[in-house]
Structure 1
Amino acid sequence: MVSAVAAADDAPPAARPAARLLIGLGGLYVAQSVIGGVVFTGLPAVMRQNGASLGDIAFILLTVLPWSFKFLWAPAVERFRSPHGGVRRTRTTVAIFGTLAVCAILATALIGPTALGPLTVAIMVASFSSATLDIACDGHAVESVAGRDRGLANAAQVGGAYLGSAIGGGLYLVLLDHFGWRPSTLAMAAVLLVLAAPFLTAPDGARIDRADRPRQSLRHALKRPAVRSGLLLVGLFVLGQKWAMVLIGPFLIDRGLSLSTIGTVNGIGITALGLAGALGGGVVLRRFSVLGVMSAALAVQGVVMFALAVFAASGDVAPAALVATTLVSSGSLALGFVALYSDLMGRASADQAGVDFTLFQSMDAIVSLIGWRLVGLFGDALGFAACFAGSGLLALLALGLLPIVAGRNRGETDGHG
């Protein structure tokens, strides 16, 4: 992958149609989520099938940590990708870490699902490479996408996450069932190459960066009020949207839905609604304000959580009502996050876009993990009804505070174009 793009990074700047840029970015976002689907859905299932304990599976899932703490090495990645006074090397960066990710997936195919130690190392390399690739991809998106197209860019990001998860956590399991570990995992590696091709083979359009701009760093990011208020906005929005999501699957099981039914809902229904919400968000943001779309998403999520609380407290509830409520939640979640990340793109500085945007994403991951851990600790004692009702109250609290937080320092750009 590296040699294919070495010449492209030296090419003179070229104007690229928004559609081609968005297709290339979308392919990369799907590829990153394919890796996530393989690691967090496909791999645990096949490990369990091969006799792995839940402790072993939980150990493997620690490989999510690079996504939570990638902000620590984001400045180093951005200094390489976007050197002061030099030509931007986005495609070289994507090619390097994309190659590492593909090689790690190839290694898992050869290692097999029972060798826990080597498998963990390979998956950690894949997770680290994918998270690092995302730093470069987000930085390139912020630099290259025009303001009016930010909603579409974030639709590609959120929609790509849903589609990639469906491939890595859905199609991969089907292939495993029919063809076994090695052919199926090799097929996923091939899928990654295909998805990266549109970005790596497109005209680069690289341009020379200013030599006088500040050195990319976390300190510079955190000095900017727009970044600090953006981090607060992410935490608030995640608080209102995500904390009870981990309870929905177990709740549906307790209410008698079969694994196959839940799998169908997750693989087809939620993916379809998530994609619709993501793509719809890109269009909606051309007509409505970011704040309005985020507020609507929080309001819908609050209603959904209170509805689930009522369902949990009552007796028999029709399975169709449970499924419909879950699907509404998925669609509103996708729509809201398209709006959120569109707003965050505007807060990121063009001087170090990858660093700023990575901070926002890490805040999303860390707040989500904290909430899911708290729900896991206290969910059994409090019960589903109390947890869902509490999540509904958090959504309303976030809705009330959103106009205050979203409006803080929104106009300060510090070099953003």
Structure 2
Amino acid sequence: MPGVAAPSSIIRVASVVGALAIAQSIVSGAAFQALPALLRAHGAAPETLALTSLVMCPWAAKFAWAPLVERWRRPGDGRWRDRSIMLAGQATVVAAIVAIGVVGPGSVVWLVAILVTAATASATADIAVDAYAVEQTPTGRRGIATAAQVGGSYTGFVAGGGVLIVLVGIAGWAKGFLLLATLMVLLSGSALLVRRPVRRVLTPARPSLATAWRNTAVRQGIALTLVVQAGTRLAQALTPAMLVDAGIGLPGIGSLLAAGAVAGGVAAVAGGWAVVRFGSTPVIRLALSLQVLSIGVIASATMWDDMALRVAVIVQSVATALGTVGLYADLMGRAAGDQPGVDFTIFQCADAAGAVLLGGAALMMASRIGFDTTCMIAATVPLTALLPVTILSHTHRGDSA
């Protein structure tokens, strides 16, 4: 990429990306796991808890301001503002977490408003983090960077979810969130490792969404994202209800999902090694194959005992992690142009939009034809994705490892 500084040490890049991925995913874990449980324990109505879904909006819409962030990040005069964007975003998130501890559980509307602010700041910082990772990861080592990113995301979601619930249960609301804010400060310090030499950057065009759309690699990357993640998004929407129908109690489901998150984190690390060793496409194919197997077992829940279902859920988490690592390694190659922050953000927004649309569609379909039938249909999706993945991978000749 012309005008871009030489790649940094992969250890430094992975450390920054991994630590900040943990910090950013803490917000998601708090919004979608911890706060609903904590607020429900304080008597919040189910329809009130639905407001927490608004926290996803900044992550799905950040493509709209990605070009502005990218222009400010790379002004072309030799300065790099990656670190400033990262630190400003994380400082806002820390302040928001402290504010949640101060406000307390009495005002759900205020809590959601604070979380949306934190999510907006975190999503904005993520634009700079992704661009930094794309530009500074040495060719052939993208699997390591994506493993740090995906593994960090799993870890952060667990920290913001189950760990936060435990902290609040032991130390109380205010102290629990203060401890979480302290952890966020420590993680955010990784941004100080970002070092860039002052070097004039040649930007042939202003970063924009139109420029991204004219790029064939970006359009194919969007298609690849939707194809690879479709089965996962359908299964994620259906699995909890399927487990309830199978007679597994809520504590058991919670423990099972936590175990799946841990397995997913381990799989992300293994997936990073596999991408470096074999490339992204074989890892994606393996993930799709595991999805077919695991979703199929979950769909035929009445034929299996509890242990088989539990193993299938964990395998599904492993498949999700492997698929995401392989996918993101491929997408890093497609985003390695003149506006990596914009291009990679578009891929992530496509993934988020797909999650919302496919998850809603799956639940609507289940209400009409039943969970078993809908889940069985979902099991065929990753199977039919194998051919498109092969075609889209072959049409992109950039290095994807």
**Is the shorter-chain TM-score for this pair beyond 0.5, marking a shared fold?**
yes
Structure 2 gaps of 5+ residues are none
How many Å separate the matches in 2 of 1:14 and 1:295? 32
Instruction: Please give the secondary structure, in 2, of the residue aligned with 1:350.
Output: coil
Q: Residue 266 of structure 2 aligns to which amino acid in structure 1?
A: A
Say whether the 8 Å CA contact 2:80–2:196 is kept in structure 1: no
Q: Which residue of 2 aligns with 1:84?
A: 76
Q: Which residue of 1 aligns with 2:188?
A: 196
Q: Deviations over 1:164-191 (max 9, x none)?
A: 0111101101111112111111111111
Match of 2:322 among 335, 346, 366: 335
Deviation at 1:159, TM superposition (A): 0.4
Q: Which residue of 1 aligns with 2:370?
A: 383
Rate the CA distance shift 1:107–1:284 in 2: closer, same or farther, 3 A: same
Match of 2:255 among 264, 268, 272: 264
How many Å separate the matches in 2 of 1:209 and 1:381? 59
TM-score by length of 1: 0.91
Instruction: Please give the secondary structure, in 2, of the residue aligned with 1:286.
Output: helix
Q: How many residues align?
A: 396
How many Å separate the matches in 1 of 2:231 and 2:108? 37
Within 5 Å, give how 1:222-371 maps onto structure 2. 222-267=213-258, 269-312=259-302, 314=303, 317-371=304-358
Q: Residue 308 of structure 2 aligns to which amino acid in structure 1?
A: A
359-368 or 76-85: bigger deviation = 76-85
Say whether the 8 Å CA contact 1:309–1:388 is kept in structure 2: yes
How many Å separate the matches in 2 of 1:387 and 1:363? 23
Rate the CA distance shift 1:35–1:212 in 2: closer, same or farther, 3 A: closer
Rate the CA distance shift 1:292–1:265 in 2: closer, same or farther, 3 A: same
Deviation at 1:14, TM superposition (A): 8.8
Deviation at 1:205, TM superposition (A): 2.3
Instruction: Please give the secondary structure, in 1, of the residue aligned with 2:141.
Output: helix
How many Å separate the matches in 2 of 1:401 and 1:90? 35
Q: Which residue of 2 aligns with 1:8?
A: none
How many Å separate the matches in 1 of 2:311 and 2:198? 48
Deviation at 1:212, TM superposition (A): 4.2
Within 5 Å, give how 1:398-417 maps onto structure 2. 398-408=385-395, 410-411=396-397
Within 5 Å, give how 1:66-77 maps onto structure 2. 66-77=58-69
Q: Which residue of 1 aligns with 2:206?
A: 215
* Correspondence 1:174 to 2:166: yes
Instruction: Please give the secondary structure, in 1, of the residue aligned with 2:276.
Output: coil
Instruction: Please give the secondary structure, in 1, of the residue aligned with 2:179.
Output: helix
Within 5 Å, give how 1:58-207 maps onto structure 2. 58-200=50-192, 202=193, 204-207=195-198
Q: Residue 62 of structure 1 aligns to which amino acid in structure 2?
A: L
Say whether the 8 Å CA contact 1:89–1:206 is kept in structure 2: no
Q: Which residue of 2 aligns with 1:37?
A: 29
How many Å separate the matches in 2 of 1:159 and 1:370? 25
Say whether the 8 Å CA contact 1:94–1:133 is kept in structure 2: yes
Q: Residue 279 of structure 2 aligns to which amino acid in structure 1?
A: S
How many Å separate the matches in 1 of 2:195 and 2:78? 15
How many Å separate the matches in 1 of 2:11 and 2:229? 30
Q: Deviations over 1:260-301 (max 9, x none)?
A: 22222222x212210111000111112213111111111110
How many Å separate the matches in 1 of 2:225 and 2:203? 31
Rate the CA distance shift 1:158–1:412 in 2: closer, same or farther, 3 A: closer
Say whether the 8 Å CA contact 2:221–2:331 is kept in structure 1: yes
Q: Deviations over 1:233-257 (max 9, x none)?
A: 1111111332121211121122121
Rate the CA distance shift 1:206–1:38 in 2: closer, same or farther, 3 A: farther
